[in-house]
Amino acid sequence: ETVRRFYGLTMDYISHMMAAGVWLSGPLFLMLGLCLTSFIVFVTLFHSVPFYGPYWSLGGVLNSLLTLFWYINILWNYLGTYLTNPGTPEPNTHHDINHQKYCRKCKAIKPIRTHHCYVCDQCVYKMDHHCPWVGNCVGHNNHKYFILFLQYVVVGCLYATVMGYLPFVEAGNTKNPFIYYNRHIGRGSVIFCWILSIALTFAVGCLYGWQMMLVLTNQTSIEFYINRKLSWQARKSGRTYQNPFDLGIKVNFQEFFGTRNGKYWFSWLLPNGTQSEGDGTSFPVIQNAEEII
């Protein structure tokens, strides 16, 4: 009994230390992400764009506007993910107890799809994960910001990769430490920017693809593993398990990005154009969901 208690206390201490480390590193990851993104934008806007022609030309104007558009959207959604409360239940708030669980840490009944974050030390509505890169939990209220942040990082870095290819080749073929028409940007910066852009395109692109798969199947990262376990248990007993919140790709997309109720189809792409439906405490389910769960 003593050994078991010592083991439990030790594991609690380790988990709390790890959570504190993740929490303290959040601002550092946040600043690093902003610096890397701003660096790519700076090199793209002040080197890659004028490489193909003057700013006042049609191509220069369009490319400058595109660069600023995806940069503004990256910043908006990045800060939106960081600053927006993901949604947390109030202590001792009572909802429909039939579909709730009790959180011993928060000492409150938590709504369905709510999970406790050991880094933030609070329950989060429809929690997906705690992301150190944004210094916040990703939950019901800011998950859309997170998805759009990933999307514009991928689009922006892909754009910077394409635009920066010829400048990258030129920088690799010259021994001059500065590019001849822009002495403020060294050839090393051009080379590093292109390598960083293509690396982020693939790395963040994989994460974006994973997150969009979850959106279109109406799951979170936590629920994906729960559903996989329940599906395995159902197969062992000769039954078929189905995610009760999966209403179909179209409806899942509309519910997450809030594009129903007569809104323009592209409104989800604009800064603060739409919000996810619901308040994070209840969700529509498929028919006979009680028999499937």
- How many C-beta atoms surround the C-beta of residue 46 within 10 A? 16
φ, ψ at 185 (rounded to 5°): -120, 115
Query: Which one of 106, 131, 137, 193 is the catalytic residue?
Result: 131
Q: How far is CA 103 from the centre of its chain?
A: 26
DSSP the chain: -HHHHHHHHHHHHHHHHHHHHHHHHHHHHHHHHHHHHHHHHHHIIIIIHHHTS-TTSHHHHHHHHHHHHHHHHHHHHHHHHHHS----PPTT----GGG-EEETTTTEEE-TT-EEETTTTEEETT--EEETTTTEEE-TTTHHHHHHHHHHHHHHHHHHHHHTHHHHHHHHH---SEETTEEEEEHHHHHHHHHHHHHHHHHHHHHHHHHHHHHHTT--HHHHHHHHHHHHHHHHTT-----TT---HHHHHHHHHT--TT--TTGGGSTTS---SS-SS-----TTHHHH-
Count of CB atoms situated within 10 Å of the CB of 282:
13
131 is catalytic: yes
* Of residues 110, 165, 57, 149, the one with CA closest to residue 281: 110
Distance from C-alpha of 114 to C-alpha of 126, rounded to nearest angstrom? 5
List active site positions: 131
